[in-house]
Amino acid sequence: MDFDPTEDQKFLQQTARDFAVREILPKAAELDKSARWPTEIVQRLSELGFMGMAVPSDYGGAGLDAVSYVLAIEEVSAACASTGVIMSVNNSLFCDPLLKFGSPEQKQNVLGPAARGEVLGCFGLTEPMSGSDAQTMATVGQLQPDGSWLVTGSKNFITNGPAADYILIFAVTDRSGPKVKHTCFLVPVDAPGFTRSPKDEKLGIHAAHSCTVYLENVRVPASMVVGRVDDGFKVAMASLDGGRIGIAAQALGIARAAYDKAVAYAKERKAFGKPLAELQAIQFMISDMLVDIEAARLLTLHAAVLKDEGVRHTLESAEAKLFASEMATRVAHKALQIFGGYGYINEYDVERHYRDARITEIYEGTSEIQRLVIASMMLKEV
Ligand SMILES: Cc1cc2nc3c(=O)[nH]c(=O)nc-3n(C[C@H](O)[C@H](O)[C@H](O)COP(=O)(O)OP(=O)(O)OC[C@H]3O[C@@H](n4cnc5c(N)ncnc54)[C@H](O)[C@@H]3O)c2cc1C
């Protein structure tokens, strides 16, 4: 398998890097400290086509491939992991499912504006009593005589929730058989009966706001069902197969930023009469960090290449997400160690990377869930 980027992909990567270094990086520490939603950066992401990277140009998207998406998310996340996940959710968990499962009307009216950055989307699967075991959700959709649905329930930890214009809501629509069935609904946030909590206070990714959303008899017309009625779980799982590639790329960006800073610091800072970089203990840490990052990059690109080939990539996305997220935590941990006390205080960015890395092991399926996905894919062949 060829992982060398094409000329177009290299150009896109350079564009993303220039943008991230010039326009995001100088603000990243302030965004983290103030937990401010980066309105102006999201606007620039839209102008660059980064909010709908895989959406065809007919709808106003950038019409790019998954490899380009990975390269761009890594660059953006190396500057600011919050911005990386804002972008990732709109691309992978909102535009992608609408592109794959949406009706022509949904594509015209909602996907197009979301890809152009005119509206922001989010993804509502998790509930207070149902996280990893998402099928046990309590949110329900009840079919009405006129063909519309009344949706009631709540969804928590919704990234982009406080700023979003639309949300994909997954709800139980049939409990009659042995298997509970779910449906995906496209809901505008100004629908009567839809409310939101204040934003969550979190350990990291402070500028990527999340919240709880509440639906009280929200009327959803039949035209806003995404995919087929009772087939919504497939929509959710297919979205996460793509989303996990984005989170793996976010983890890569965080790790690379921590690594680069640790290497620069190790060359500068002296102990016992020589730079830290000349101490073998530090050299070993740097070697391990680099190998970890390179391995995660290959797994992530592997999953992206398969996605571009239209091949099922559930296994490879889970492998990439599992390894890259745990790698980011390991690398950020070592980077902070190399900085010593200066790593622990917030004068340098490594403590931000250390906090930001942690979430990648949790959202879009925890590491334990990735292991379950991998095992179930492998063992079903035994
Ligand atoms: C900042 C943030 C943003 C998020 N954004 C979104 C979003 O945009 N949309 C959305 O729908 N959700 C979102 N989530 C939710 C996220 O996907 C869930 O938190 C995650 O899936 C885990 O669910 P849970 O928190 O309920 O933990 P639980 O499912 O309660 O799990 C608790 C622990 O038990 C482990 N565990 C559970 N089941 C098993 C098992 N079978 N075997 C082994 N271990 C197991 C888990 O791995 C975990 O360690 C977000 C979460 C956070 C914190």
Taking alpha carbons only, the member of 214, 175, 221, 205 closest to residue 82 is 205
User: Which structure tokens are listed for 236?
Assistant: 């959710």
Any atom of ligand 1 within 6 Å of the Cβ of 158 = yes
Taking alpha carbons only, the member of 130, 22, 5, 132 closest to residue 79 is 22
Give strand pairing partners of 174: 181
Angle between helix 66-79 and 280-308 (nearest 10) = 140
The atom of ligand 1 lying closest to the CA of 366 is 47
Q: Supply the residue whose CA is at minimum distance from atom 27 of ligand 1.
A: 131
- Compute φ and ψ for 152, nearest 5 degrees: -135, 135
The atom of ligand 1 lying closest to the CA of 202 is 1
The DSSP result for 241-260, as a single string, is: HHHHHHHHHHHHHHHHHHHH
**What is the Cα–Cα distance from 209 to 198, expressed in whole angstroms?**
9
Per DSSP, the three-state class of 183 is strand
Q: Is residue 315 within 8 Å of 360, Cβ to Cβ?
A: no
Any atom of ligand 1 within 6 Å of the Cβ of 85 = no
The atom of ligand 1 lying closest to the CA of 155 is 11
**What is the Cα–Cα distance from 188 to 120, expressed in whole angstroms?**
10
What is the reported pLDDT for 1?
79
User: Which structure tokens are listed for 70?
Assistant: 């990975």
- From first to last of the 382 residues of the chain, give the pLDDT tens digit: 788 999 999 999 999 999 999 999 999 999 999 999 999 999 999 999 999 999 999 999 999 999 999 999 999 999 999 999 999 999 999 999 999 999 999 999 999 999 999 999 999 999 999 999 999 999 999 999 999 999 999 999 999 999 999 999 999 999 999 999 999 999 999 999 999 999 999 999 999 999 999 999 999 999 999 999 999 999 999 999 999 999 999 999 999 999 999 999 999 999 999 999 999 999 999 999 999 999 999 999 999 999 999 999 999 999 999 999 999 999 999 999 999 999 999 988 999 999 999 999 999 999 999 999 999 999 986 5
Q: Supply the residue whose CA is at minimum distance from atom 41 of ligand 1.
A: 369
Taking alpha carbons only, the member of 169, 167, 202 closest to residue 188 is 167
Catalytic residue among 309, 316, 364, 368: 364
Cα(164) to ligand 1 centroid in Å equals 21
Any atom of ligand 1 within 6 Å of the Cβ of 336 = no
The atom of ligand 1 lying closest to the CA of 132 is 29
What is the reported pLDDT for 382?
55
Identify whether 40 is a catalytic site residue: no
**What is the Cα–Cα distance from 4 to 301, expressed in whole angstroms?**
10
What is the reported pLDDT for 45?
97
Secondary structure element (H or E) that encloses residue 84, with its range: helix 81-88
Please work out, in degrees rounded to the nearest 5, the angle formed at the alpha carbon of residue 158 by the alpha carbons of 154 and 161: 100
Cα(373) to ligand 1 centroid in Å equals 14
**What is the Cα–Cα distance from 39 to 295, expressed in whole angstroms?**
34
Any atom of ligand 1 within 6 Å of the Cβ of 125 = yes
**What is the Cα–Cα distance from 307 to 288, expressed in whole angstroms?**
29
What is the reported pLDDT for 381?
60
Q: Supply the residue whose CA is at minimum distance from atom 23 of ligand 1.
A: 131
Q: Supply the residue whose CA is at minimum distance from atom 30 of ligand 1.
A: 131
The DSSP result for 213-243, as a single string, is: EEEEEEEE-GGGEESSTT-HHHHHHHHHHHH
Cα(234) to ligand 1 centroid in Å equals 18
What is the reported pLDDT for 2?
80
Cα(366) to ligand 1 centroid in Å equals 6
What is the reported pLDDT for 347?
87
Q: Is residue 159 within 8 Å of 152, Cβ to Cβ?
A: no
Whole-model pTM above 0.75? yes
Q: What's 365's DSSP letter? A: S
Cα(236) to ligand 1 centroid in Å equals 14
Any atom of ligand 1 within 6 Å of the Cβ of 363 = yes
Taking alpha carbons only, the member of 292, 180, 166, 264 closest to residue 230 is 180
